[in-house]
């Protein structure tokens, strides 16, 4: 079992200053991986710059040019919360290209699975617009690349960021060959991701949203992944699995009101990994999206890598959320999603 890790110090050059999505996210994560000796067990995958042609699999020329020109003139805001620094265009090329090199490593059998520890994140970046801290949609570009280069006919993307991946959904909304699955706090930014948004045309049914209310935690998430994702994945039979990893549903994260723990993240990834092993020879790439608490995010990401590499899982020094929140009754929500997608 080899687990690949995409990382390069170039990702620190996307300088967002005091913005919540900043380089310290990766600095803290790499420090923890080195301290815990987990880094020694991983196969480092060097990134490369994605080409214009590869970006164009998902994004318009206008969008690519706007990000490039904004960086070239010294940086600036691309929307109300998405910033580009002078180096951000180049860094974003390496974020997308890092995911592509990970696809290559997984598809060629050089590693069993891989994690792309990259920034800027991507799942909110639409064809024509940077938004939600995202410049280019790394996971969507990776999916399109796998289809183009390796003739993959069925890809499943699981998105466990606390925010709905609106742009990934948009990219594949009418595509029957890419099944997009998302768990997200609802209603929450960006306001998309209703149960009824289930694809269109030939892609009808290949878009699965599980909009979860605030304060859902480990038990609620695990039910969704076991009772909804698992049967849908088995029916779809993916040849490659991708995942957008957002660690902002952790109870300590300031950008959400969810109650996941570090252990809960490990359990979610364990379900996804088991499905990949069962359905597509373990071919799995996970790419970083959100997660902004500088202790919870590195710990949750370490738990992810421990699961992927089949390493012993470390104790969680943060633990469960404080207080005595009663479990949310998920029965009605799960019934609605299951009925919408023919699981009942």
Query: Tokens at residue 129, please?
Result: 């617009």
Q: Which residues pair with 208 in a beta bridge?
A: 181
Q: Let me know how long the chain is.
A: 344
Q: Distance between the two ends of the chain, CA-based, in angstroms?
A: 36
* Catalytic residue chosen out of the listed positions 59, 63, 123, 124: 124
Tell whether omega for the bond before 247 is within 30 degrees of 0, i.e. cis.
Answer: no
Measuring CA to CA, which residue among 120, 135, 133, 101 is closest to residue 11?
120
| DSSP code of residue 90 | H
Helix (H, G, I), strand (E, B) or coil at 180: strand
Measuring CA to CA, which residue among 99, 106, 91, 88 is closest to residue 144?
99
Catalytic residue flag (residue 188): no
Containing 278, the helix (H) or strand (E) segment is helix 262-280
Task: Annotate 143-163 with b (16+ C-beta within 10 A) or e (fewer).
Answer: bbbbbeebebebbbbbbbbbb
- C-alpha 290/C-alpha 267 separation (Å) is 18
Catalytic residues: 124
């Amino acid at each position: 079992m080899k687990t690949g890790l995409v990382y390069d110090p170039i990702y620190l050059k996307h300088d967002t200053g005091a913005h919540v999505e900043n380089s310290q996210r990766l600095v803290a994560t790499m420090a923890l991986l080195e301290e815990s000796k987990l880094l020694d067990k991983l196969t480092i995958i060097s990134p490369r710059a994605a080409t214009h042609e590869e970006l164009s699999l998902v994004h318009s020329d206008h969008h690519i040019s706007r990000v490039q020109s904004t960086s070239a003139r010294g940086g600036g805001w691309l929307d109300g919360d998405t910033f580009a620094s002078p180096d951000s265009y180049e860094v974003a090329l390496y974020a997308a290209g890092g995911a592509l090199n990970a696809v290559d490593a997984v598809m060629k059998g050089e590693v069993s699975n891989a994690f792309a520890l990259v920034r800027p994140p991507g799942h909110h970046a639409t064809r024509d617009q940077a938004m939600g801290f995202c410049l280019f949609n790394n996971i969507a570009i990776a999916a399109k690349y796998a289809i183009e280069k390796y003739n993959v006919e069925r890809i499943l993307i699981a998105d466990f960021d606390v925010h709905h991946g609106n742009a990934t959904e948009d990219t594949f909304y009418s595509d029957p060959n890419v099944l997009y699955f998302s768990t997200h706090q609802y209603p929450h930014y960006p306001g998309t991701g209703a149960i009824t948004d289930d694809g269109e045309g030939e892609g009808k049914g290949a878009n699965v949203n599980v909009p979860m209310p605030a304060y859902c935690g480990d038990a609620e998430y695990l039910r969704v992944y076991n009772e909804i994702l698992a049967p849908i994945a088995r029916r779809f039979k993916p040849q490659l699995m991708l995942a957008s990893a957002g660690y902002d549903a952790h109870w300590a994260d300031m950008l959400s009101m969810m109650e996941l723990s570090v252990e809960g993240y490990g359990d979610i990834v364990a379900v996804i990994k088991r499905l990949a092993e069962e359905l597509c020879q373990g071919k799995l790439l996970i790419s970083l999206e959100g997660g902004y608490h500088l202790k919870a995010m590195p710990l949750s990401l370490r738990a992810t890598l421990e699961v992927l590499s089949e390493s012993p899982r470390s104790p969680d020094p943060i633990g469960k959320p404080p207080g005595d929140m009663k479990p949310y009754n998920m029965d009605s929500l799960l019934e609605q999603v299951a009925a919408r997608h023919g699981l009942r």
